[in-house]
Structure 1
Amino acid sequence: MRLIVRIVIGLLVIAVIGLAATWFLLPSLNDRQTDGELALPGLQGPVRVVRDEKAMPYIYAESMEDALRAQGFVAGQDRLFQLEAAKRAASGRLSEVFGAGADDAIVNLDKEARVIGFRRIAERQMELLSPNALRSLTPYVEGLNSYITDHADTHPMAFSLAGFEPEVWTVEDLLAVTFFMGWGSAANFDAELIAHQVIQAIGEEKFQEIAPIVVNPDNPEAAPAEEETAATLSRWASKTGAPAAWTRGGWRQQGHGGSNNWAMSGAKSGTPAAVVTNDPHLDSRNLPGSWHPVALITPEVRVVGVSAGLPGVVIGRNDHIAFGVTNAYADAVDLYVETIDPDNPDNYMEGDQSLPFETLSETIRIKDDAAENGIREEKLAIRLTRRGPVITDHDPEKGDGAVLTMRWASAEYMDGELGLDALMAATSVEEALDAIGLAHMVSLNFVVGDVTGRIGRRASGVAPIRLRGDGMAPFPVVDGEDNWGGRIPAAEMPGEIDPERGWTGTANHFTAPADYPYVYTSYASPSYRYRRMSEIFNDKPTINAEESWAAQYDTLNVFARDIAPIMAAALLEDEDADIQQIGQTLQDWNHRDDLGEVGPTLFQEVMRHLARLTYEDELGPEAVTAYLSNWYVWQERFDAMVREGTSPWFDDTRTPETENLADMIRRAGRAAQERLASDYGDNIENWRWGDVRKIGFTGPLRLDGWVGSLTGNRDVAMPGSGETILRALYPYEKPFDSQWFASLRMTADLNDPDKVRAVLPGGAVGRTFHPHLADQITDWTDKDAQIYWWFSDKAIEENTQSVLTLSASTS
């Protein structure tokens, strides 16, 4: 017996030692070379890649072309699996390596990418690129391909685990990824489909009562004219319906997120130079996150910041300026209701003219173990009109409805420049704004500050000049006349220079001024974050860099401050003691969405149920689900209705009584209490915000269970909400499952020659088991953490951990 025990103990010891050895060896088995020398063909001179304590690369080169070539190589070292996934997503080739997915979800994503045509658009853009633009893109692609082809032995482990290998890139691939990323900022594709579905449920007149509104807090009267919206809808109201499936899944831009940015002038910051802060909100739950930190240092340019897997830096600073971005949500997309020729269903009508659809044929390859050679093929026929592709041909439910086409200004109004190279080299606010005007592929609000203390803001991208309609709902093609009259000139996109108050900023809100001559958008974020920014920054004569950084962590919920007292008053009148307790908690709450508070949980849950109870009787289950699925469609309108308090929408038409707002709040309170008790127990103290709402980070392969925990999975408690500057927005249908949050926090103080304060919710290296996959998460949650990108040579040298020399050939 003792011998058996000894054998068992011995085997356990061996197993533990083996597991420990494996754990410590895995990072080195899944690593890449960061010291010594490597060959990088095409370089004109040697390049040094210096890495700091966070594994962030600082690329020293004698020319920008060499720096970009090295950046492509380093991006491959650090983020190759992530880059390959993005390329395949943009080209509609995910299912080729990942299979069809549950309910064909991955195949449907591929169909969307093919129908929208990111790759087709990229090929057209390629034909227009100037030699200057090609000098930015080609070296990066060649450097990336050098890593892919020459260093297969150090490719990330994720490829072997997933069962495929990366492919070489073309410039067209890079452009397709850029357009794919730009799609999420193109505004209201999803909202137009929602508007259509709601109109079919209740008619255009009733829809007018709950149609989206956009608010510019700097001049609230700048919302789109209601009479123009009504005219647009009346022309559309008689049309037949598009399939509801389009609004329930897929065919959506990721337009529910957002970002904050602001720039303090030298006068406002109390220093000679400007201070720029940016926290872009993306779904960055998949580690290592959305952004790759990098510095490019040449004799002419020194720039440090982040890249989204593309050449150059899109957020960061150089010696003269700092810059940050948010989604601008310029409405660059319109849907159209096409009229089919009644005598020839293969044609569509342009006024009295019958035209044939252009038809493209594509083949989607789908990984399928049951198929011959493990791959099956699905043919895809894509019809196009003069405006763009037909999106309703590929309804998963094969519904018979209107023929809707999609038109995208970014794909229609192209030119040969990209703008990012000029922005990285800009030496003043004016030069930066000129460069931003060249960036047509993505709709972003840039804020800029320079070393002289000046600041500015300008929207990039392309927005059409609408001659008819406001873009809120699909536009009926009746007379064949184009409702677009070109693009809004780049210099006339919303923006400002050196505002008198000393700061400028955006929070995805409606930024067009009251006298703006164009229809800019009918879709934007509710104004709560920007209102809170204005309160913080206008109340103090100066905002220094430390205070600018701290503002990113502000948790005051302006929406709740307006609405929670109304809720509390109604709930305190309920006969049920549990509902009264909810009311008392809301009344005592300070409207900050902090981890230890129960108030945020109660407010969000009561608000969710109140919204559904307000609309579901008239909209019906499908339309109300679509309507509430997009916060930007309904939240600002709902806020106004609750504050006003007398809307007939609060009456439940399914009952003989006439309910008012207070009645509906009490119903919502009971529904909230029931849901929270069911999910978290009866004790209200267990409903604290930090206990019910966490961000779930996952490793590159998104594995579950204990295996997933070994590859980076973790849950992180996060204060804030969708309405606070410290943002953590959840989908309406998945309460508290936060998916959009700060994918980066940055404050670039141009008075500091040595560093930029910045942190990621992940890390610099996208390799499973790597120590720099998720090493910044703890600092990301701590507003007092001191974590930096280094800027000066001295600071970089003091924090150097490794040096890799790249040259055209090595001895």
Structure 2
Amino acid sequence: MRQVFRWLMRIAAGLVVLVVLAVGLVYFLASQSLPDYDQTEQVTGISGPVEIIRDNANVPHIFGETDPDVFFGLGYAHAQDRLWQMTMMRRTVQGRLSEVFGARTARIDRLLRRLDLYRLAQQSLAAQDDYTRAALEAYAAGVNARLSEINEKALGRGAPEMFLFNAPMAPWVPADSIAMIKLMGLQLSGHLEEEVLRARTSLMLDDPARLLDILPDAPGTGIAALPEYAQMFPGLPRYAEGTPPDDDPLSPFPKRGLAGASNAWAAAPSRSASGGTLLANDPHLGFSAPSTWYLARIELQDGGVIGATVPGIPAILTGRSRKLGWGITSSYLDDQDVFIERVNPQNPDEYLTPDGYKPFETRPSIIQIKDAAPITLTLRWTENGPVLPGSHYKLDTVTPPGHVAALGWTALTPDDTTMSAAMDLMRAGTVRQAITAAEKYVAPSQNLMLIDAETIAFKTIGAVPRRDPQQQSKGRLPVQGWRTENRWQGRQPYASNPEFISPRGGILGNTNNKILERPFPNHISYVWGDTQRINRWQRLMQARQVHTRDSLVEAQLDTVSFTARSLLPLIGADLWFTGEAAAEGTPERQRQVALSLLAEWNGEMNEHLPEPLIYAAWLRALQTRLIEDDLGPLADDFKHVDPVFIERVYRDIDGAAVWCDVRRSAPKETCTDMARLALDDALVWIGEHYGTALESLRWGDAHQATHDHPVLGKVPLLRYFVNIRQSTSGGDNTLQRGRTSGEDPNPFLNVHGAGYRGVYDLADPDSSVFIISTGQSGHFLSRHYDDLAQLWRRGEYIPMSLDVDLARAASEGITRLIPR
């Protein structure tokens, strides 16, 4: 027995040694790809020395003798820190993920191939101006210089993920950077899904008047009645399940409510304590590790520029120079339409146009699948755009037999000059020059907030489709593609895009709210990203005669919910302070405790408070009860609470209180009944997930920011090293926006928000500040993988200075690139 025990101990010790050696070997191989920031490297592709000074937050400050040399340095720095991220983004837009991940990503690749974004990016290269083409070529050479260094010095393939996945990286080319912008456009677009959902809801509802309750317009002047979708395409079923959405974290197609969002506001000298202009910007995207954003400073011949870049794109997308500051918000411009095309019943290779049947434009495309046979697709285009599969956003549920769906989208243009616009914007010195530069911008449409020394301005940029005033659905439903009045007629003139320069009040702002009221087809959009945050923003801006950098920071970090303050008195009007005291442990007692907490709450969505969780769970349960009777299984597609819908119901606007009655029950339920029942539902759910001691709840336990690695984030054990999870304040409708997932079993996870925050003060430019939500490095063994994450969570920032001596004084390292 003793001998057996001795051998078991030897075996166990041997296994431990093997595990330690294996872990050590993995760590050694993975650590080889950690970049050396303090080195001198001979490279090909520059005309003179390039210096990359990395400050103590690992923000590169890049200097060169010419602008192309500076862009070379930016490409090199991006490849040092975010090579895997760049590889995945390029493979995504090319439709080549399945070469690495197998059949798991075949559906994503099919969709990207059908959109043909990469081929359009290649074609758009010829449309760029000479300066932009030179910048793109130099940037690509910088990326490739890092690839050559990795290969020559055996630097661990450039990223730890390269060891786990056989993902050889081809040299970077200029078209790749243009394709990155088109990929961002895809991630920021939501009108296609809105049109399909509106059509499905129209088919499901017995009363067409109720469509504007559940899918309400932003407050303001109403519009003419929409046609019933069933009238345009008779014979469609009331409800069809459709293909489930693709939940793969590598999918670039946003879920409803999770496309782009943002905040930006500016103050003129008359409203600034310093007498200079101020600008704050925090664009919102889905969280990931590393962040989408990467901080950088580049020193061009026209002067220094500093702000946020996206790896793969050689431009500061939001930031400042010494003379100009700019920020971006999603405009929600209606830049997509779904066209239902009638296929020739006698020839499936043709579709109907206003001039009769015409052949589809077709082209074969082969998708290579790891460990499986390749897939051959036939890509089809109509005059309206590419034909999409019925599985995409459940298009098959609104497409009649004998028809296919095609997508019209401004990003699907072969002469897209958006990259040239970004280059011109960085070199602009005044607001007027910046607005002129942005005329080249095509897609994705943005609101551009601008400041120079004296002026503040706002301009919606991007191509606006020119629609016929008689278009069947005013761009809100899929339409018959063969009718002339439904087709686009080119673009609206840039001068007609909304523009505000030097307003009398000295303050400009946008929270993705409705910005103007113009009749169709000059309306910009019927779907806006915000109806709530703008109210809180107005209150904060009007509360001060003059603003400072810190007051704009305070507004960025504000977590008070206007929505909670306005809705709770409505839905709980008949519940507060009514009824007798209930016994401990009963549902009635829990309800009274919850109502007592909410009655004294000021609407602040603070991570340490219980009230935000009670409120959020109550509103979610309430909307579910209101709509599931009328919409049936389609109710599952409404994953986020719409405050305007709740308000319409509880104010009984246009008879909307009818939603409170459960049609399938004999009694007639009131809205008070539904509020009480929903509160009980919410308290049961909270008890099952977080406990019954309501006073001890923490909103932050449910509202964790999910900076997850899109590839390794679900791998057991490894996920604890690559994912960055943080308890956070804010919510769906606060200025410090933390959009919740809406998905069970954790519907309140914070999945979408301000991955970048910046505040620019042109009275004292070097006092400007910025931050990203993770760290600069995409290498999970680097200390810069998450070193900015806690600062971001606490609402802190780092200096945004163009002072080279300050960067050099506490530098992480200095990389010197010299011509070979």
| Same fold by TM-score greater than 0.5 | yes
| Distance of aligned partners of 1:749 and 1:17 in 2 relative to their CA distance in 1, 3 Å threshold | farther
Aligned partner (choices 421, 424, 445) of residue 422 of structure 1: 424
Can you list the C-alpha shifts for 1:554-594, whole angstroms capped at 9, x where unaligned? 01101111111223334445782222222222222111101
Mean Cα deviation higher: 414-423 or 14-23: 14-23
| Contact persistence 1:212–1:523 (CA under 8 A) | no
Q: Partner residue of 2:442?
A: 440
Matches within 5 A, 1:516-555: 518-555=522-559
Distance in 1 of aligned mates of 2:557 and 2:617: 23
Q: Residue 482 and residue 690 in structure 1: after superposition, are their counterparts in 2 closer, same or farther (change >3 A)?
A: closer
Moved more, 742-751 or 205-214: 205-214
One-letter amino acid of the structure 1 residue matched with residue 647 of structure 2? D
Partners of 1:527 and 1:247 lie apart in 2 by: 29
Q: Look up the match of 2:281.
A: 278
- The alignment covers a number of residue pairs equal to 784
Give the secondary-structure state (helix, strand or coil) at the position aligned to 1:519: coil
**Aligned residue number for residue 55 of structure 2:** 52
SS at match of 1:33: coil
Q: Percent identity?
A: 24
Indicate yes or no: 2:706 matched with 1:702.
no
Contact 1:265 / 1:275 at 8 angstroms: preserved in 2? yes
Stretch deviating more after TM superposition (176-185 or 706-715): 706-715
The partner residue of 1:294 within 263, 279, 296 is 296
Counterpart among 387, 400, 408 of residue 384 in structure 2: 387
- Residues 192-271 of structure 1 mapped to structure 2, 5 A cutoff: 192-202=195-205, 205-210=208-213, 212-215=215-218, 221=220, 223=221, 225-227=222-224, 229-231=225-227, 236=232, 238=234, 240=236, 244-245=241-242, 248-249=245-246, 252-253=253-254, 256=258, 257-271=260-274
1:305 to 296, 304, 307: 307
| Counterpart code for 2:412 | A
CA distance in 1, matches of 2:589, 2:196: 43
Please say if 1:325 is aligned against 2:328.
Answer: yes
Q: Deviations over 1:589-637 (max 9, x none)?
A: 111101122111111111111112111111111x2122x1366xx4433
| Cα offset, 1:766, TM superposition | 0.8
Of 358, 363, 371, 2:361 maps to: 358
Q: In 2, Cα distance between the equivalents of 1:171 and 1:147?
A: 16
Deviations 1:266-311 (A, max 9, x none): 2212223211111111112x22211111110134221011111200
Gaps of 5+ in 2: 583-587
Structure-2 separation of matches of 1:29 and 1:780: 29
SS in 2 for 1:466: coil
TM-score by length of 1: 0.90
- Offset from partner CA, 1:233-256 (integer Å, 9 cap, x none): 576363636965367447944552
**Cα distance between partner residues in 1 of 2:344 and 2:12:** 81
Asked whether the 8 Å contact 2:467–2:487 carries over to 1, the reply is: yes
Asked whether the equivalents of residues 208 and 230 of structure 1 are also in contact (C-alpha less than 8 Å), the reply is no
Offset at 1:71?
Answer: 0.9
Letter in 2 for 1:275: L
Paired with 1:677 and 1:710, the residues of 2 have a C-alpha distance of 27
Is this contact kept in 2: 1:501–1:538, CA < 8 A? no
Q: Give 1:23 shift.
A: 10
Q: Does the residue aligned with 1:259 lie in a helix, a strand or coil?
A: strand
- CA offset at residue 135 of structure 1? 2.1
Q: Pick from 642, 645, 652: which aligns with 2:650?
A: 642
CA distance in 2, matches of 1:757, 1:507: 20
Q: Counterpart of 2:769 in 1: which secondary structure?
A: strand
Is 1:713 matched with 2:693?
A: no
CA RMSD of aligned residues (A): 3.0
Partner of 1:613 in structure 2?
625
CA distance in 1, matches of 2:117, 2:435: 27
Equivalent in 604, 624, 628 of residue 616 of structure 2? 604
**Cα distance change of structure 1 residues 350 and 21 upon mapping to structure 2, 3 Å threshold:** closer
C-alpha distance in 2 between matches for 1:702 and 1:270: 48
Please tell me whether residue 803 in structure 1 is matched to residue 814 in structure 2: yes
Q: Distance in 1 between matches of 2:352 and 2:17?
A: 76
The answer to whether residue 636 in structure 2 is matched with residue 625 in structure 1 is: yes
Report the counterpart of residue 568 of structure 1 in structure 2.
572
Q: Which has the higher mean CA deviation after the structures are superposed, 503-512 or 117-126?
A: 117-126
Deviations 1:21-68 (A, max 9, x none): 889968853312322211221211111010111111110112111111
How many angstroms apart in 2 are the aligned matches of 1:436 and 1:243? 43
- 1:461-492 CA-to-partner distances (Å, cap 9, x unmatched) read 21212212421111123534453232122232
Q: For the Cα contact (< 8 Å) 2:626–2:660, is it kept in 1?
A: yes
Separation of aligned partners in 2, 1:191 and 1:491:
28
Supply the distance in 1 between the matched residues of 2:734 and 2:393 (Cα, whole angstroms): 37
Structure 1 residues 474, 318: closer, same or farther in 2, change over 3 A? same
Q: Sort the Cα spacing of 1:771 and 1:267 in 2 relative to 1 into closer, same or farther, 3 A.
A: same
TM-superposed CA distance for 1:186, in Å, is: 3.5
Could you say what secondary structure the match of 1:471 adopts? coil
Unaligned runs of 5+ in 1: none
| 8 Å CA contact retained: 1:243, 1:395 | no
Letter in 1 for 2:529: S
User: Could you tell me which residue of structure 2 aligns to residue 724 of structure 1?
Assistant: 734
Whole-angstrom distance in 1 between the partners of 2:185 and 2:141: 23
Shift of the alpha carbon at 1:517? Answer: 6.6
Tell me, yes or no, if structure 1 residue 673 matches structure 2 residue 677: no
Matches within 5 A, 1:454-603: 454-467=455-468, 468=471, 469-514=473-518, 518-572=522-576, 573=578, 576-603=588-615
Aligned pair partner of 1:793 in 787, 801, 804 = 804
1:673-705 superposed Cα distances (whole Å, 9 cap, x missing partner): 121111122222343212222123334742447
1:798 Cα deviation from its structure 2 partner: 2.3
Tell me how far apart the structure 2 counterparts of residues 465 and 636 of structure 1 sit (CA, whole Å): 29
Distance 1:393 1:361, change over 3 A: farther
Going from structure 1 to structure 2, the CA distance change for 1:239 and 1:460 (only over 3 Å counts) comes to farther
CA contact (8 A) 1:756 1:791 kept: no
Measured in 2, the distance between the counterparts of 1:458 and 1:352 equals 38
Identify the residue that residue 762 of structure 2 maps to in structure 1.
750
Q: Name the counterpart of 2:585.
A: none
CA-to-partner distance for each residue in 1:420-439, whole Å, 9 max, x for gaps?
11111111111112222221
Letter in 2 for 1:240: L
Deviations 1:181-200 (A, max 9, x none): 11233341111111111122
> Is the 2:123–2:414 Cα contact (8 Å) retained in structure 1?
no
1:144 is aligned to: 143
Distance 2:532 2:16 in 1: 58
Sort the Cα spacing of 1:13 and 1:240 in 2 relative to 1 into closer, same or farther, 3 A: closer
Q: For the residues of structure 2 that align with 1:20 and 1:590, how far apart are their CA atoms?
A: 51
- Amino acid aligned to 1:654: R
Aligned to 1:130: 129
2:46 equivalent in structure 1:
43
Aligned counterpart, 1:767: 779
Taking structure 2 as the reference length, the TM-score comes to 0.89
